[in-house]
A = this chain, B = another copy of it.
Amino acid sequence: MAYAYWKSGKMEDKAVFDLFFRKNPFKGEFAIFAGLSECLKFLSNFRFSDSDINYLKQILPHVDPQFWEYLSGLDASQVTMSAIPEGYVVFPKVPLIRLEGPLPVIQLLETTLLNLVNYASLVATNAARFRITAGESVQLLEFGLRRAQGPDGGLSASKYCYIGGFDGTSNVLAGKLFGIPVRGTHAHAFVNSFSSLDEIKGNVELTKSYLNKISPILNVLENETNEGELTAFLSYAFAFPTSCLCLLDTYSVIKSGLPNFLAVALALNDYGYRVIGVRLDSGDLAYLSRKCREGFNLIADKFGLPWIKQLIIVASNDINEDTLRSLKEQLVEVNGEPRMKLSEDVEKINLPGKKNVFRLYSEDGLAILDLIQLCTEKPPAVGKKILVRHPFNESKRAYVCPHKVELLYTDYWGDNCLMQSFSTLQETKQIASDSLKTLRQDIKRELNPTPYKVSVTNEMYHFLHDLWLKHAPIGELS
């Protein structure tokens, strides 16, 4: 396409691109915008290397040689980018990134920007949904590396889960590169690798005697517990006396894992250390965690150690991504003239022209709606009533009087340089958390969430519909 633009002399045509999405993922009514920092790094470094050009020459042998000179001189110096801050709660149809610059350059940037924003936003949104469901007090850890789309896909997942509201990751490289807290426990394989207490050099008698005392309390026969598992728990406790968390379901949580763990916990207590908890990785997690809690309470009371009641129970399971919806970027303006892609499907219409988006807040600090208007219009004013409209449905309109008005876009790139300093991962995580708090509860709930309103001004509405009437093909009934 870049070559065809060049060939038609459209190298210097100015274009505006909006990067937006059409539908919220996970059957929800919101998304978290993420990936902006990576987009800025990409803009800063955008160039075709000599080896890129040589490769392109091979696969496009019939191209006018002057085009290669043009291409090798391209960078993002003529481009300006405004965007919503990374971490913000965002909604369908609202442009997340607005890019202006020479048509072929903008076109060449498109796929990479979509690639960097799509997956990042999807993962951050998923994480935020988990956080909302789990509540603030629960720890959420990401263990997904082995199922991710390759090594880099795994790194991105760890990063954007953290932004969206997770507390840590088992991906040690993500910890090293991004400073995300690293958490982990042992696996079933660790338990399987031990078979007898003889494999341990240290004192095992204390633990054995505790197991003998515990078993009748928990209604377990002594020979039902697996000795290899007990050995594994003990080894793990020797290695990590201050952070011992044991995986209970290699053999049987109730008949083996729980009594073995509690025996190790009591022995470790005698040495002045406290275990921190257990992990369950299969079976009926709700039932088993209740059974563990019952066991903790029994032993805590029996041995006068109330802290055992507070031990944590970690449940680990597959994170299911229900739906993967994608962002779409569309050309919306060339040389100041608005263009739109028409379609018989009203949902697929792009909002034309260079636009601004304002988020309007009510007195309680909650977001009322996002208002899309043309850049040529005056911004909405605090305390002043304005008419807002559904972009396509004529009958849906309302007056709104905002208590606070926020322009969603910040200029991030222009004059060939970054116009904002990068926010840290921690700051972006905080923005996501704060932004989610401005969203009404019924919009965030899992079942039948209320859609958040994305409206247009009256002027935008008429601009859009005049353009539509001018260009739309008229159907024929036959």
Contacts and interface: CB of A to CB of B under 8 A. Distances in A.
Contact of A250 (B150, B155, B238, B341): B341
Contacts of A93: none
Given A192-B331, A192-B334, A339-B193, A111 B149 contact: no
A80 interface: no
Contact of A189 (B56, B157, B326, B331): B331
B149 A103 contact: no
Contact of A149 (B150, B182, B327): B150
A446 interface: no
A188 B341 contact: yes
A110 interface: yes
Contacts of A343: 249, 282
B176 A52 contact: yes
A272 interface: no
A240 B4 contact: yes
Interface string A303-319: 00000000000000010
A65 interface: no
B7 A238 contact: yes
Contact of A118 (B13, B147, B195, B239): B147
A255 interface: yes
Interface in A132-167: 145-157
Interface string A335-369: 00101111111001000000000000000000000
Contact of A193 (B3, B9, B200, B331): B331
A471 B190 contact: no
Interface string A253-280: 0011000000000000000000000000
A280 B176 CA distance: 46
B4 A342 contact: no
A378 interface: no
A59 B252 CA distance: 32
Contacts of A471: 226, 251
B149 A201 contact: no
A5 interface: yes
A190 B1 contact: yes
Contacts of A112: 151
Nearest to A190: B1
A193 B55 CA distance: 28
A115 interface: yes
B200 A145 contact: no
B344 A239 contact: no
Nearest to A182: B59
Contacts of A110: 146, 189
A10 interface: yes
B3 A115 contact: no
Nearest to A184: B1
Contacts of A172: 55-56
A264 B107 CA distance: 24
Nearest to A147: B326
A189 B13 CA distance: 13
A149 B145 contact: no
Interface string A88-131: 00000000000000010001001110111011100000000000
Contact of A154 (B15, B115, B157): B115
28 contacts: A1-B189, A3-B240, A4-B235, A4-B239, A5-B235, A8-B200, A15-B193, A52-B176, A55-B175, A55-B176, A59-B182, A110-B146, A110-B189, A115-B147, A115-B154, A146-B326, A149-B150, A151-B152, A153-B153, A188-B330, A188-B341, A192-B330, A192-B340, A195-B334, A195-B339, A226-B471, A252-B344, A321-B324
Given A115-B146, A252-B473, A283-B344, 9 more contacts: A1-B189, A1-B190, A3-B239, A3-B240, A118-B146, A148-B149, A152-B152, A250-B342, A252-B342
Interface of A: 1, 3-5, 7-10, 13, 15, 17, 51-52, 55-56, 59, 62, 103, 107, 110-112, 114-116, 118-120, 145-157, 172, 175-176, 182, 186-190, 192-195, 199-201, 224, 226, 228, 235-236, 238-240, 242, 249-252, 255-256, 282-283, 318, 321, 324, 326-327, 330-331, 334, 337, 339-345, 348, 471, 473-474
A-B pairs, top 5 by smallest CB distance, nearest first, are A152-B152, A149-B153, A149-B149, A189-B331, A153-B153
